[in-house]
């Protein structure tokens, strides 16, 4: 009915103009209108004569009235519509292949009861998460995990995570990851992924009872406030299969090497080499200082060392190393090498290189410097007990090299 009134209202606009124009002319000129015949005569004159001022006024009034009516009608017609270019559509207004409702939870607390029920009935679960602290806190949940994907310890994603949260620090994240890996032991498989992803739990994978819970990560949002969605195989079979397929792809991925980690490892190796070299040089300098101190006590007399090796084939190479240390320009000890009698010299010190001396603390000091600077390929010990050699008086320092540790 309202539609009919709108049509009649629209037709009334030109009718008003047809009647109003001759009336206005009659008033301006002070002449009688003569009813309908006068109106017809008026419009005949309009067709054949130029438009006077009064007619322009009339037309303007009619046009203005028509425009006002049209504007009002347009406003009424569009009051219930939304400008799609500027409005944000609600989820229900977006066409989606998911035919049923998706379970959406405001935060972790609101999801707790539903998630606990799902975990209770799950035969096993696959998990992709950042640190796994929440799952580890519940041993019943933790024991159901079959596959676990964590952030790569010390990776780019770990650093990125700390940049967009005030909850935790990079050391905490790395420690949590390491702790989770230790806790898992050999019971479950764990893989690391240096990529950013939303936390995901798939219950009873690839079964008719499968379900997926995804926690939506938003930068700066505290973990307890993160919203979650839950979909089930029964309601959204295609979606659950799709997500499970992509989890499997994550699991089977062969990530590119972490270039920064490789670079850091290379730099660490170089640093370790430089550190070892520095320790070696420091040990040599200390040995040189010790030598000069002893020579000063002896009024410049050259120091002597006896190197005896038990079993030429197995021990002479180490004896040669010792000789090279003491025969440098800075030390210049007098070195004597000879083969010892293994039947009379017994090794009780669990080391292949044993140092002895009648000079107090000399053997211990030299053995310590050898070990600190790794001056030879074998560790050395000082014999503070019964002498192994019967010729200690023949040299300031006696070193015995054994073929093996007894």
Separation between Cα atoms, residue 312 and residue 75, nearest integer Å: 110
Does residue 263 lie in a domain region?
no
Confidence of residue 4 (pLDDT cuts 50, 70, 90): low
Find how far residue 244's CA is from the centre of its chain. 21
DSSP 8-state class, residue 347: -
Residue 78 has what pLDDT? 42
89: exposed, middle or buried (Cβ count in 10 Å: 0-12, 13-18, 19+): exposed
Domain boundary among 252, 269, 289: 252
Rounded average pLDDT over 149-161: 86
Output the six-digit token pair for 223: 């973990």
Tell me the pLDDT tens digit for each residue of 332-356.
898 988 887 766 666 666 778 999 8
Tell me if 84 is assigned to some domain. Answer: no
Assigned domain for 317 exists = yes
User: Residue 186 — very low, low, confident or very high, per pLDDT cuts 50/70/90?
Assistant: confident
Higher-scoring residue by pLDDT: 82, 238: 238
**pLDDT, tens digit, for every residue of 297-309?**
888 888 999 998 8
- Which range has highest mean pLDDT (23-37, 259-273, 385-399)? 385-399
The answer to whether residue 91 sits within a structural domain is: no
In DSSP terms, 145 is beta-bridged to: 125
pLDDT in tens, 304-324: 999 988 877 778 889 899 999
Question: Of 247 and 386, which is predicted with more confidence?
Answer: 247
Q: What is the mean pLDDT of residues 110-127?
A: 93
Residue 65 lies in a domain: yes
CATH of the domain at 140: 3.30.870
Select from 252, 286, 321 the last residue of a domain: 252
What pLDDT is stored for residue 153 in this prediction? 86
What are the structure tokens assigned to 348, written together?
């009780």
The whole-number pLDDT of residue 344 equals: 60
Question: Would you state the pLDDT for residue 255?
Answer: 58
**pLDDT for residue 210:** 95
Q: What confidence score (pLDDT) does residue 183 get?
A: 85
Please provide the DSSP assignment of 10-33 as one string: HHHHHHHHHHHHHHHHHHHHT---
So what's the pLDDT on residue 52?
56
For the stretch 101-116, what's the b/e string if a residue is b when 16 or more beta carbons lie within 10 angstroms of its beta carbon?
Answer: eeeebebbeebeeebe
In a domain, 89, yes or no: no
Q: Are 276 and 170 in contact (CB under 8 A)?
A: no
List, for residues 208-248, the tens digit of each pLDDT value.
Answer: 999 999 999 888 888 889 999 999 999 899 899 989 988 88
Among residues 78, 95, 126, the one where a domain terminates is 78
Contact of 46 with 55, CB cutoff 8 Å: yes
Q: What is the mean pLDDT of residues 109-131?
A: 93
| Residue 334 and residue 237 share a domain | no
Find the domain containing 334 and state its range: 278-401
What pLDDT score does 253 carry?
Answer: 74
Report the mean per-residue pLDDT for the chain. 77
The total of structural domains in the chain comes to: 3
112 and 244 inside one domain: yes
* Ranges 12-26, 123-137, 214-228: which has the least confidence: 12-26
Residue 89: which pLDDT band, with cuts at 50, 70 and 90?
A: very low
**Do 171 and 286 sit in the same domain of this protein?**
no
Q: Considering the domain boundaries, does residue 266 fall inside one?
A: no
Going 171 to 177 to 181 to 182, the CA torsion angle's sign is positive
In a domain, 98, yes or no: no
pLDDT digits (tens, 9 = 90+) for 285-295: 999 999 999 99
């Amino acid at each position: 009915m309202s539609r009919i009134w709108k049509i009649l209202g629209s037709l009334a606009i030109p009718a008003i103009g047809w009647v109003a124009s001759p009336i206005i002319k009659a008033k301006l000129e002070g002449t009688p209108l003569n009813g309908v015949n006068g109106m017809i005569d008026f419009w005949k004159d309009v067709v054949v004569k130029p438009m006077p001022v009064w007619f322009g006024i009339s037309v303007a009034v009619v046009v203005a009235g028509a425009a006002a009516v049209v504007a009002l009608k347009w406003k009424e017609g569009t009051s219930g519509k939304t400008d799609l270019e500027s409005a944000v559509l609600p989820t229900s207004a977006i066409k989606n292949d998911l035919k049923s409702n998706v379970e959406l939870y405001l935060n972790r607390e609101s999801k707790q009861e539903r998630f606990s029920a799902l975990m209770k009935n799950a035969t096993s679960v696959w998990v992709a998460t950042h640190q796994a602290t929440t799952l580890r806190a519940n041993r019943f949940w933790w024991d159901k995990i079959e596959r676990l994907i964590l952030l790569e310890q010390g990776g780019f994603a770990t650093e990125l995570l700390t940049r967009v949260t005030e909850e935790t620090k990079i050391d905490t994240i790395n420690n949590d990851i390491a702790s989770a890996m230790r806790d898992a032991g050999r019971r479950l498989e764990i893989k690391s992924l240096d990529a950013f992803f939303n936390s995901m739990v798939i219950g009873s994978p690839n079964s008719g009872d499968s379900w997926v819970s995804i926690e939506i990560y938003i930068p700066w949002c505290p973990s307890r406030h993160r919203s979650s969605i839950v979909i089930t195989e029964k309601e959204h079979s295609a979606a659950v299969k799709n997500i499970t397929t992509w989890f499997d792809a994550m699991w089977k991925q062969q990530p590119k090497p972490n270039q920064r980690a490789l670079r850091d490892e290379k730099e660490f190796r170089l640093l370790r080499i430089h550190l070892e070299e520095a320790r070696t040089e420091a040990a040599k300098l200390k040995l040189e200082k010790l030598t000069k101190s002893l020579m000063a006590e002896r009024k410049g007399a050259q120091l002597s060392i006896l190197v005896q090796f038990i079993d030429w084939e197995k021990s002479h190479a180490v004896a040669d190393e010792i000789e090279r240390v003491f025969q440098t320009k800075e030390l210049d000890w007098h070195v004597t090498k000879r083969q010892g009698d293994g039947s009379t010299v017994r090794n009780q010190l669990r080391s292949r290189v044993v140092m002895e001396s009648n000079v107090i603390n000399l053997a211990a000091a030299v053995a310590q410097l050898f070990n600190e600077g790794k001056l030879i390929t074998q560790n050395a010990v000082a014999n503070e007990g019964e002498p192994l050699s019967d010729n200690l008086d023949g040299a300031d320092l006696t070193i015995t090299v054994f073929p093996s540790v007894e």
